[in-house]
Structure 1
Amino acid sequence: MPFDAVVLKESWHLSYRRAPDLAARFYEELSWKYPSARRLLDHVFGAQNDIAVCLSTVAGDLLDNVDDPDAFSAAIVALANAHVSLDIPPHVVAWMEEVLLDTLEGAAGDDWTPEMRTTWRNAYEDLASRLARARAHS
């Protein structure tokens, strides 16, 4: 599904300005909703701070490249390869979608709009399908 890169970036920056600890919030929410995700991420990354830094870096890489189809595809392939090498199961990607949307909305508060949620859902579904394809070829 198509998504609006401008809305994606603006809503990310809105949420991040309101909650600079967005990645840590995401990790905590993911851990609370899916305890097995916490065990997996702790095993893969070790310290919580390492996880937050990694999540922030991945989000930044994807958002920085969302306007450039070739660079965006390359970033997704790199992410898929990382998932494979770290043995992160595909179902965790679905868990992350739900938690990411809730975390962004919680940080943005009353300024979060249905358009933002739809944009993020469409972008994440695009990302997840590309990840699955890239993963299948790795």
Structure 2
Amino acid sequence: MNPSKHFWPEHAINSMPYKLLSLCPNQHGERERLEREMALTEKEEALVKESWQIMKQNIPEYSLRFFTIILEIAPAAKNMFSFLRDSVEVPQNNPKLKAHALIVFKMTCESAIQLREKGQVVVGETTIKYLGAVHVKNGVIDPHFEVVKQALLRTVEEAVGEKWSEEMKCAWGSAYDQLAAAIKAEMKQEPAA
């Protein structure tokens, strides 16, 4: 049985503490935002870059915090990772967790930075096709992306402290949505796991 198949019971998905379509009520709606050209505005880019400069000062700490928040929001998510399945707690000193968290956090943030410059999602050494295949293999579904988004936003907020604003939240939300949309598009091309 795929351990991620029952990531959350249906009632948990329906009672999530955030609205999927109203992250940035003053901007375009979710559908319109995803349909627009894949790039950030100058202001969004500046906000993302400013906060990324702060986070880059301690990537190991923020990447581990990012993953810890994912597991706080959705404890059953640890079953999706072979290096966490048998642990009762989230082991902060687990080298595999640290390495994976660092890769995922850095890739997510760096792809956000490049959106305006490249006009598309760029993920460095990894391809979107590969990410789509891995996510299908592991049984990732749409609500999982929302948990990651919330964890990313909370991590950025904690990292930047008083610099955090609704505009910065929207900039990171938009950047993440575009990365998630690219991965989901590739997932649809992959055969089901």
Query: Is TM-score (shorter-chain normalized) higher than 0.5?
Result: yes
Return the letter of the residue paired with 2:161.
Answer: G
Q: Which residue of structure 2 aligns with residue 76 of structure 1? A: 128
Q: 1:99 aligns with which of 151, 157, 165?
A: 151
Q: Which residue of structure 2 aligns with residue 111 of structure 1? A: 163
Q: Which residue of structure 2 aligns with residue 51 of structure 1? A: 97
What TM-score do the two structures reach when normalised by structure 1?
0.77
List gaps (5 residues or longer) in structure 1. Answer: none
Cα 1:94–1:108 change in 2 (3 A) is same
CA–CA distance in 2 between the matches of 1:78 and 1:13?
28
The count of corresponding residues between Structure 1 and Structure 2 is 135
Greater relative contact order, per chain length (Cα 8 Å cut-off, separation 6+):
1
The answer to whether the Cα contact below 8 Å between 1:61 and 1:75 also exists between their aligned partners in 2 is no
Q: Percent identity?
A: 21
- Give me the CA root mean square deviation: 2.7
List gaps (5 residues or longer) in structure 2. Answer: 1-32, 34-38, 86-90
Cα 1:91–1:49 change in 2 (3 A) is farther
Residues 1:37 and 2:77 are matched in the alignment: yes
Comparing 26-35 with 47-56, greater Cα deviation is found at 47-56
1:109 partner SS: helix
Return the letter of the residue paired with 1:7.
Answer: L
- Higher CA-based Rg: 2
- Deviation >6 Å, runs of 4+: none
Q: 1:60 aligns with which of 89, 93, 106?
A: 106
Return the letter of the residue paired with 2:118.
Answer: D
